[in-house]
Chains A and B, each alone.
Chain A
Amino acid sequence: MNQTPTTPTDEQPGKASKRMELERLMEVMSAAQIQQGVSLWSDGWKRLKRNRVSMASLWTLVVIVVLAIITPALPLQSPIFQDVKQRELLRPTLFAPANPKGFTWTEKALRDFLSKEKIAEFPENWVVKLRAFRSKVVEAQYAGDESLLIAATPSERAALWYQWFGEIEIAPPEIKSFRLGIADYNEDLTLKRQELIEMSTSDSQRAALQAEIESLEARHPINALWNDPGFISRSMIEFRIFIFGDYCIPSICGTDKLGRDILSRVCWGSRVSLACGLIATLVSLLIGVSYGAISGYFGGRIDNIMMRIIDVAYSIPFIFIVIFIMSFLSAPKVRDTLNEYGINQITVFFLMIGAIYWLTMARVVRGQVLSLKNEQFVDAAKTIGTSQWGIIFKHLVPNVMGIVIVYLTLTIPAVIRFEAFLSFLGMGVQAPDISWGMLVNEGIQVITPIRIYWWMIVFSGFALALTLFSLNFLGDGVRDALDPKLKNR
């Protein structure tokens, strides 16, 4: 700010020099404000924000990741529940099952009514009607007629019932709401647990009760419908049931060959694919950065050997080796040994992928460290007495983060694509786990000239392509943003 200088006439000589100092200080400060010091990050972020495509990609990715995380809490249908009878290969439709357990009203109605016990209760003319009705439903299924598959609300059910049988002499059957069903199930479980504590009489009874409790837990509807979710997912699912109850988003992406909803499979598959991308990249980052930093810092002989190892490793086609190793890991004896140690196949799979991509990272970090290790701040750290490892990991590594981030954004899409590639070939995640590659594989298998089930490939392919696109554009943008040559432009 420019302060108007006071006239020098009413000042004394000592104060005059002080004032001049003050003026000079003001000038210097105003000049300094134009040249503001910026850190790499804030500078880069500002530049990134100006790149519209990258920001759009960033937002897309944020949405995808958030969707993936909160998928268990969304009112989706079950991703693994098969319903070959009624919902097979539906095109995108507004059909939604009555509850996550997949029951549509017609199926429940038929099963109840056509079970042997019930038929005996009904008048003769009803039995004939019911049998005729059943064949009509089967025919309609083959013809792809969905009109028999709707009816969620009680009034809709009554109307449909009347339409089929022309009377409401016998009341349309009710389905217990899914939420109530789970609540009852949980109550059952709690009762049994209490019984175990309180009424424990003989040992064998206790054991039997214990066994019953454990199997009830194993057969819990949540486990059956959502493939044994972990603790956090499970809580989210329970939250979803609490809030949304029986409501399920209709099959707006259609269903697959076994009647499973594709929208929910794409959402649940995203969790696996994205998790793979993140974890594998993290693994490659850890290995690569440490390796490169150590090699670059120590230099000399150690550097030579380590770089030679990388050179040899570079010429090894790791992708093929990973495929070979996956084959080895699927042998039953090996699988059993791994299971004993608590390592399941997915974990090994992620680690293997991570082990492919660290090479470039290591080389790049080494290059950076080589140029940085002669900087003054390293000398300063040495003077204080920081240990060598401290210098590497506390000082050098944070300074290479810029270029590491750039390579991260290049590696993540490569990893996701590789995981899709392996799942497509049948070597990635196994059923009932889901991944995008597996979904694309299933989609390709039903493409025939007779009928093209386009929804089976379009949605999963689009999700995969969109994620890879965004990651690519974001990577380009981050690379430009963190380019030191463009600083402050």
Chain B
Amino acid sequence: MVRKFSPLLILLILLGAVVWAVSMGTLPRADFVFNNGAEIKTMDPSQATGSPEGRVINALFEGLLRSIPAGEPDALGRIPMKPVARGMADRFTVSADGTVYSFHIREDARWTNGDPVTATDFAWSWMRFLHPETASEYNYQLFYVRGAEKFNAVQLAVGDKVEVELADRKTLELFPRGTIRRGILRELILPLPAENTADTDNEETDAAVVAAISGKAIFVVEFQNESGNTPVTETIAYAVSADGSLAGIDELKQTYTGDFQLSDIQPCKHVLYDFNEVGIRVLSPQDLEVTLNNATAFFPELVSFYPLHPVHRGCVEQYGARRFTKAEHIVTNGPFRLKERRIRDRIRLMKNEQYWNAAKVELESIDVMSIQSETTSLNMYLTDQLDWDTTPPNAMLHILKKRDDFVSTPFLASYFYRVNTSKPPLNHPLVRRALNLAIDKRSIVDNVVKGGQTPAYSFVPPGMNGYQGYQGSGSNVKLARQLLAEAGYPNGKGLPQIEILYNTADSHRDIAEVIQQDWKINLGINVVLRNLEWGSYLDALQTGDYMVARSGWIGDYPDPNTFLDMFVTGGPNNQTNWGNVKYDYNIKMAKSEADPAARMQLFVEAETILMEAQVIMPIYFYVSKNMVQPHIQGFHANLQDIHPLHLIKIRRAGSAVNDSISEDTN
């Protein structure tokens, strides 16, 4: 019986499968589709570092201020981006000495779940951002705030106000935290420094920092309990411990010869500088007051920068850091909300009706595609599947440059190779300099990237007010060979194989292949290439798992500081295991230097140190290259290549919209 009907059955099954397959495949096109270049690493503002992530986070979230085109066009006809009070804050004031910023949060600011956005949201998000366990890579951007660095780096001294997180977390996640008790640090008991301490300069404090958060120190904290009428003082000793065991401090307990009683040491999760002492104060639900260490001219730019965007506390605490970014969980406050996310395909954003300025946002839906192949994205752009292509391939640039829809302008960004100065043979500065001198940058710019970029012989791109920068020299193979010989590798003999790491993209590979050949032919060195996807590449940089790595850095604000403060000793964006005392000193002094000329001079000296140590090998200064369909409006070329998505409008030929209304883009 089965046999008789089996052909029919099979046919039916096949038909059913086809119908199911068809239904799986359909997803209609969004209003605005663009290629973001790579699958973004994360949507959590505190964990993101790249510009692909930035574009998405700027669409989903909104900070206190927002950078939008404002002001007069410059010499190249570009309207500069300025951070203005068109974000969560509707006005802000700066004190006379420039150290106190008061933000007023607008009344109609809402999260997507209806909750109002308050100053507490910002305070909590910035606390999370600065918390050492979040380990945010950009946390140094908030170090301009008084006490922020002390909080993040756990720089405690006796007499400081501290907050203790008890070991009663309900889940394994950081938030919601365990019970917080605030007290005063009475004694900090540290183990004696070992023979080989860390080779930083301020050894004592750094030892305190390291020991304090590694479970090897004992903190004696005094609390004031306001129970009833009489205040009761309680002194408890704590040790930081992950799993509740106190094994790490046994030795310390035995060798302690001080006053305090160490009989009953409690385990705890963290002992940190009290966040209430940090210069972020909530005056009222609508008022946030931020106190800085010194007057910082670019603080408004920082505030509009995406790592500082707020996250919804309830959402993070309910779902945990890894899962709150799911489309069904996430709560956001920006012009768009997350509809769905398909891995390595697209992120679909829909207009957020709760957004305070939703009336002015024209796009209903956006597709953020993550197409890795530059050629494929160009093909999709040319066949009208994409409205904006952020990654046109270098091989086609000389043809694309002539088209009207090619938008290109000098860009505050530097393409360079980072050198891991702790991996031999790169720990020798002469080797690094030799490698740098053997690269023919002019040839790369003219023949590989061909987009009108400028070859770079220094780190900071030109175009910022009053900054001359370091004057580097071009390629010099003879000198390179000489330096290599001086370093002990005459003619490249004995030099171990060097590996160049780059993130998967055709242009990076082309440049790496050219440099591979330059080094092979000019210096006789064997070079091997390795490429990783964006997320893994970022990880490899962080963990130091590379020798020479392609890097790019886009200035976060138009000031040399955004480039140069990357390379302070141990800075999270340093990643080269290099440090220099004078460099750190210059950068630190520049933060509080009032006289602009003197400040620039400090930067020039610092850049000179950086370049002479050849911690990085600059290749070229970027030119932004975007391909934008003619029916897209609201796309302005600017020095920072920021293109807020909520300003984009679609004007197809024949649409009869009154453009005078649309000019009020803000």
Question: Which residues of A does B touch, CB under 8 Å?
Answer: 80-82, 84-85, 88-89, 138, 142, 208, 211-212, 214-216, 218-219, 224, 257-258, 332, 430-432, 445-451
Given known A-B contacts A211-B493, A219-B491, A451-B396, A88 and B378 have beta carbons under 8 A apart: no
Q: Is B261 interfacial (CB 8 A cutoff)? A: no
Q: Is the beta-carbon distance between A215 and B490 smaller than 8 angstroms? A: yes
Q: Which residue of B lies closest to A88 (CB)?
A: B447
Q: Is the beta-carbon distance between A89 and B395 smaller than 8 angstroms? A: yes
Q: Is B382 interfacial (CB 8 A cutoff)? A: yes
Q: Is B329 interfacial (CB 8 A cutoff)? A: no
Cβ of B382: which chain A residues have Cβ within 8 Å of it? 448-450
Q: Which residue of A lies closest to B517 (CB)?
A: A82
Q: Which residue of B lies closest to A447 (CB)?
A: B375
Q: Which residue of A lies closest to B526 (CB)?
A: A218
Q: Is the beta-carbon distance between B395 and A215 smaller than 8 angstroms? A: no
- Cα distance, A80 to B521, chains bound together (Å): 12
Q: Is the beta-carbon distance between A85 and B520 smaller than 8 angstroms? A: no
User: Interface size (B, Cβ < 8 Å)?
Assistant: 34
Q: Is the beta-carbon distance between A82 and B506 smaller than 8 angstroms? A: no
- Chain A nearest CB from B280 CB (Å) reads 42
- Residue from B379, B395, B448, B499 whose CB has the most chain A CB atoms within 10 Å: B395
- Residue from A84, A446, A449 whose CB has the most chain B CB atoms within 10 Å: A84
Give 9 nearest A-B pairs by CB, closest first: A215-B491, A84-B447, A219-B524, A215-B493, A211-B493, A218-B524, A214-B493, A211-B490, A449-B382
* Beyond A215-B490, A431-B529, 7 extra complex contacts between A and B, CB < 8 Å: A84-B443, A84-B447, A215-B491, A332-B499, A431-B513, A447-B375, A450-B378
Q: Is the beta-carbon distance between B395 and A85 smaller than 8 angstroms? A: no
Q: What sequence of 0s and 1s flags, for each residue 519-530 of chain B, a beta carbon within 8 Å of any chain A beta carbon?
A: 011001000110
Question: Which residues of B does A touch, CB under 8 Å?
Answer: 373, 375, 378-379, 382-383, 393, 395-396, 398-400, 443, 446-448, 490-494, 499, 506, 510, 513-514, 516-517, 520-521, 524, 528-529, 545
Cβ of A218: which chain B residues have Cβ within 8 Å of it? 491-493, 524
Q: Is the beta-carbon distance between A142 and B520 smaller than 8 angstroms? A: no
5 A-B pairs in the complex with CB atoms less than 8 angstroms apart: A84-B514, A88-B447, A219-B524, A447-B375, A449-B382
Cβ of A84: which chain B residues have Cβ within 8 Å of it? 443, 447-448, 514
Q: Is the beta-carbon distance between A445 and B521 smaller than 8 angstroms? A: no
- Cα distance, A142 to B398, chains bound together (Å): 7
Q: Is the beta-carbon distance between A212 and B491 smaller than 8 angstroms? A: yes
Q: Is the beta-carbon distance between B529 and A430 smaller than 8 angstroms? A: yes
Cβ of B521: which chain A residues have Cβ within 8 Å of it? 219, 224
Q: Which residue of B lies closest to A218 (CB)?
A: B524
- Cα distance, A362 to B375, chains bound together (Å): 45
- Chain B nearest CB from A136 CB (Å) reads 14
- Cα distance, A474 to B120, chains bound together (Å): 77
User: Could you say which of A88, A215, A446, A448 contacts B492, with CB atoms under 8 Å apart?
Assistant: A215
- Cα distance, A347 to B562, chains bound together (Å): 47
Q: Is the beta-carbon distance between B510 and A448 smaller than 8 angstroms? A: no
Given known A-B contacts A88-B447, A258-B513, A448 and B396 have beta carbons under 8 A apart: yes
Chain B contact residues: helix, strand, loop or mixed = helix
- Chain B nearest CB from A97 CB (Å) reads 16
Given known A-B contacts A258-B514, A445-B375, A85 and B447 have beta carbons under 8 A apart: yes
- Residue from A216, A257, A448, A451 whose CB has the most chain B CB atoms within 10 Å: A448
Cβ of A142: which chain B residues have Cβ within 8 Å of it? 398
Q: Which residue of A lies closest to B499 (CB)?
A: A332
- Cα distance, A81 to B494, chains bound together (Å): 24
- Chain B nearest CB from A18 CB (Å) reads 75
Q: Which residue of A lies closest to B382 (CB)?
A: A449
- Cα distance, A401 to B383, chains bound together (Å): 55
User: Could you say which of A80, A432, A449 contacts B379, with CB atoms under 8 Å apart?
Assistant: A449
Q: Which residue of A lies closest to B376 (CB)?
A: A445
- Cα distance, A138 to B452, chains bound together (Å): 13
Q: Which residue of B lies closest to A215 (CB)?
A: B491
- Cα distance, A81 to B395, chains bound together (Å): 18
- Cα distance, A142 to B499, chains bound together (Å): 32
Cβ of A432: which chain B residues have Cβ within 8 Å of it? 516
Q: Is the beta-carbon distance between A257 and B490 smaller than 8 angstroms? A: no
Cβ of A211: which chain B residues have Cβ within 8 Å of it? 490-491, 493-494
User: Could you say which of B443, B499, B510, B529 contacts A257, with CB atoms under 8 Å apart?
Assistant: B510
- Cα distance, A214 to B495, chains bound together (Å): 12
Cβ of A215: which chain B residues have Cβ within 8 Å of it? 490-493, 524
Q: Is the beta-carbon distance between B490 and A208 smaller than 8 angstroms? A: yes
Cβ of A80: which chain B residues have Cβ within 8 Å of it? 517
- Chain A nearest CB from B582 CB (Å) reads 34
Cβ of A450: which chain B residues have Cβ within 8 Å of it? 378, 382, 396, 399-400
- Chain A nearest CB from B501 CB (Å) reads 10
Cβ of B517: which chain A residues have Cβ within 8 Å of it? 80-82
- Cα distance, A258 to B528, chains bound together (Å): 17
- Cα distance, A203 to B561, chains bound together (Å): 51
- Chain A nearest CB from B292 CB (Å) reads 43
Q: Is the beta-carbon distance between B383 and A449 smaller than 8 angstroms? A: yes
Q: Which residue of B lies closest to A259 (CB)?
A: B447
User: Could you say which of B393, B491, B545 contacts A332, with CB atoms under 8 Å apart?
Assistant: B545
Q: Is the beta-carbon distance between A446 and B395 smaller than 8 angstroms? A: yes
- Cα distance, A216 to B514, chains bound together (Å): 21
Cβ of B398: which chain A residues have Cβ within 8 Å of it? 142
Q: Is the beta-carbon distance between A85 and B399 smaller than 8 angstroms? A: no
- Chain A nearest CB from B561 CB (Å) reads 35
Cβ of B375: which chain A residues have Cβ within 8 Å of it? 445-448
- Cα distance, A431 to B492, chains bound together (Å): 21
- Chain A nearest CB from B557 CB (Å) reads 35
Cβ of A448: which chain B residues have Cβ within 8 Å of it? 375, 378-379, 382, 393, 396
- Chain A nearest CB from B193 CB (Å) reads 32
- Chain B nearest CB from A90 CB (Å) reads 13
- Residue from A214, A430, A451 whose CB has the most chain B CB atoms within 10 Å: A214
- Cα distance, A85 to B442, chains bound together (Å): 11
Q: Which residue of A lies closest to B447 (CB)?
A: A84
Cβ of A85: which chain B residues have Cβ within 8 Å of it? 443, 446-447
- Cα distance, A245 to B613, chains bound together (Å): 45
Q: Is the beta-carbon distance between B506 and A445 smaller than 8 angstroms? A: yes
Q: Which residue of A lies closest to B529 (CB)?
A: A431
Given known A-B contacts A224-B520, A450-B382, A219 and B492 have beta carbons under 8 A apart: yes
Q: Which residue of B lies closest to A426 (CB)?
A: B531
- Cα distance, A138 to B524, chains bound together (Å): 29
- Cα distance, A445 to B524, chains bound together (Å): 30
Cβ of B447: which chain A residues have Cβ within 8 Å of it? 84-85, 88
- Residue from A211, A216, A451 whose CB has the most chain B CB atoms within 10 Å: A211
- Cα distance, A446 to B520, chains bound together (Å): 27
- Chain B nearest CB from A483 CB (Å) reads 34
Cβ of A219: which chain B residues have Cβ within 8 Å of it? 491-492, 521, 524
- Residue from A81, A138, A450 whose CB has the most chain B CB atoms within 10 Å: A450
Q: Which residue of A lies closest to B497 (CB)?
A: A339
- Cα distance, A393 to B443, chains bound together (Å): 62
- Cα distance, A431 to B514, chains bound together (Å): 12
Q: Which residue of A lies closest to B518 (CB)?
A: A82
- Cα distance, A387 to B510, chains bound together (Å): 61
Cβ of B493: which chain A residues have Cβ within 8 Å of it? 211-212, 214-215, 218
- Cα distance, A445 to B545, chains bound together (Å): 29
User: Could you say which of A82, A224, A446, A451 contacts B513, with CB atoms under 8 Å apart?
Assistant: A82
- Chain B nearest CB from A330 CB (Å) reads 8
User: Could you say which of B399, B443, B514, B520 contacts A451, with CB atoms under 8 Å apart?
Assistant: B399
Q: Which residue of A lies closest to B444 (CB)?
A: A84
Cβ of A446: which chain B residues have Cβ within 8 Å of it? 375, 395
- Cα distance, A449 to B380, chains bound together (Å): 10
Q: Is the beta-carbon distance between B510 and A258 smaller than 8 angstroms? A: yes
- Cα distance, A216 to B378, chains bound together (Å): 44
- Cα distance, A218 to B492, chains bound together (Å): 9
- Cα distance, A450 to B402, chains bound together (Å): 12
- Cα distance, A430 to B399, chains bound together (Å): 30
Q: Which residue of B lies closest to A445 (CB)?
A: B375
- Cα distance, A448 to B380, chains bound together (Å): 9
- Chain A nearest CB from B130 CB (Å) reads 34
- Cα distance, A81 to B514, chains bound together (Å): 10
